[in-house]
C-alpha cells in the first residue's frame, strides 16, 4: 500500500461524526399543561430542551422514568420514548398530537388540558445509515444533561440559549441557523458524555480517552492511507506492540489493523457516494492494488465498489457496524 495524502484530520471524534453525516433539526416548540403525554416513534434520534417547568421521560423497554427540569436536555439516540407530566400517563402519538394541537399562527404545539406550565423545544437528528449501527451500539438509550438554576451547564449554556432564541425567531434563515446549532449541541452532548465516562465505557468512542489507544486512533485517522503495522503504531504512541494490541482490542472491540481497514472502507464508501472513481478512492485510502481494494470493499460493504458507486445509497445493504 503506498503512502497517500491524509483523508481527514487527526481528531477521531470529529472524523467519525462528520463522516456519519450527523444532522439535526428543530421540529417544533411545545407548550404543555397537565395532564399530557406524547410518544415518539423509533427511528430518527430525538432531543428535548426544557425551557420552563419540567417533564418525565420513559424509554421504551425500561421502567425507570427520567425527570428533566428547566435547563435540562434529553437526547434519545434511537428515538423511541415518551414524555409526560408524570409517569403512567396514557400517551398520544406525536403525529396525533400535532394534528390536534398545532397552533399555526403561534407556530407552537399545545398539548394537555390545563394552563401550560411546561415549555420545551423538540428536535430530531439523523445519522448516515452506513454508520448508524456503529454509533448507536455504543451510545446509551438516553443522554441527560442537567442544567443549573434553569440553565444548561458549560458550553451547552451558550449554544442552547442561542438555539432557544432562534427557535422563537421568524426571520429569514432562522430555521437553518437553528438546525446548525443543533448539530453543534449534539457534538457537545456526545463529547460531554464521553468526558464523564471511563475509557472502558462507550466502546470505540470511549477508547478515545485512553492515552495510548486514543493516540493510536488519532494516528490512524490522521493518515489512514499510510502502510501501518502494529509495531510501527506502537512506536508512535509509546507503548510496546503486544500491550497496545491487547488494550486497543479490549477498548475498541477489534484489533488496530482491522479497525483501520474498516475505517478505510467507510471513508472509501463516502468517496464513492460522492462521485470519486474507484481507482482514486482506492489510492486515497492506501490501496495500490485495485483488485485488493475491491476484494476488501466487497467483504465489508457487501457489494463491489463499482456497483456501490452506481447504486442509490438506500439500495446498498452492506454497512460497517
Q: What's this model's pTM, rounded to 2 decimal places?
A: 0.73
Domain spans of the chain, in order of start: 22-196, 205-315
Q: Are 23 and 187 in contact (CB under 8 A)?
A: no
Q: How many other C-beta atoms can be found within 10 angstroms of the C-beta atom of residue 162?
A: 15
Backbone angles phi and psi of 108, in degrees to 5? -145, 145
DSSP 289-319: -HHHHHHHHHHHHSS-HHHHHHS-GGG----
pLDDT along the chain (321 residues), means of 10: 44 71 80 95 87 92 86 85 93 93 89 90 80 71 77 68 78 80 82 74 75 90 92 94 94 91 90 91 92 94 91 45 32
Distances (CA, A) of 311 to 131, 304, 306, 315, 317: 18, 11, 9, 6, 11
Query: Distance (Å, rounded) from C-alpha 302 to C-alpha 316?
Result: 8
CATH architecture of 22-196: Sandwich (2.60)
Phi-psi region of 9 (alpha: psi -120 to 50; beta: other; left: phi over 0): beta
CATH (one of 3.90.1170.20, 3.30.479.10, 3.30.70.2190, 1.10.10.60) for 205-315: 1.10.10.60
Query: Distance (Å, rounded) from C-alpha 144 to C-alpha 140?
Result: 10
Per-residue model confidence (pLDDT) at position 321: 32
Per-residue model confidence (pLDDT) at position 154: 64
Amino acid at each position: 500500500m503506498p503512502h497517500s495524502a491524509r483523508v481527514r484530520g487527526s481528531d477521531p471524534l470529529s472524523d467519525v461524526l462528520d463522516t456519519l453525516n450527523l444532522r439535526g433539526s428543530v421540529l417544533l416548540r411545545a407548550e404543555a399543561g397537565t395532564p399530557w403525554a406524547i410518544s415518539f416513534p423509533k427511528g430518527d434520534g430525538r432531543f428535548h430542551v426544557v425551557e420552563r417547568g419540567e417533564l418525565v421521560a420513559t424509554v421504551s423497554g425500561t421502567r425507570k422514568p427520567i425527570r428533566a427540569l428547566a435547563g435540562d436536555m434529553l437526547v434519545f439516540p434511537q428515538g423511541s420514548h415518551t414524555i409526560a407530566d408524570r409517569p403512567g400517563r396514557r400517551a398520544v402519538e406525536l403525529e396525533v398530537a400535532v394534528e390536534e394541537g398545532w397552533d399555526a399562527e403561534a407556530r407552537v404545539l399545545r398539548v394537555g388540558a390545563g394552563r401550560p406550565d411546561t415549555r420545551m423545544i423538540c428536535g430530531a437528528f439523523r445519522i448516515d445509515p452506513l454508520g448508524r449501527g456503529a454509533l448507536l451500539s455504543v451510545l446509551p438509550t438516553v443522554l441527560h444533561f442537567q442544567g443549573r438554576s434553569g440553565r444548561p451547564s458549560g458550553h451547552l449554556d451558550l449554544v442552547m440559549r442561542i438555539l432557544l432564541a432562534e427557535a422563537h425567531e421568524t426571520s429569514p434563515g432562522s430555521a437553518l441557523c437553528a438546525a446548525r446549532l443543533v448539530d453543534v449541541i449534539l457534538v457537545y452532548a456526545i463529547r460531554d458524555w464521553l468526558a464523564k465516562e471511563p475509557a472502558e465505557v462507550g466502546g470505540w468512542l470511549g477508547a478515545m480517552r485512553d492515552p495510548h489507544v486514543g493516540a493510536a486512533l488519532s494516528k490512524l485517522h490522521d493518515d489512514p492511507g499510510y502502510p501501518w503495522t502494529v509495531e510501527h503504531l506502537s512506536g508512535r504512541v509509546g507503548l510496546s506492540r503486544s500491550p497496545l494490541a491487547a488494550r486497543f482490542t479490549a477498548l475498541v472491540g477489534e484489533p488496530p489493523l482491522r479497525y483501520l481497514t474498516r475505517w478505510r472502507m467507510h471513508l472509501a464508501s463516502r468517496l464513492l457516494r460522492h462521485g470519486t472513481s474507484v481507482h482514486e478512492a482506492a489510492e486515497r485510502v492506501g490501496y495500490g492494488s485495485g483488485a485488493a481494494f475491491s476484494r476488501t470493499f466487497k467483504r465489508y460493504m457487501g457489494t463491489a465498489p463499482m456497483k456501490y458507486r452506481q447504486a442509490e445509497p438506500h439500495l446498498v445493504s452492506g454497512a460497517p457496524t
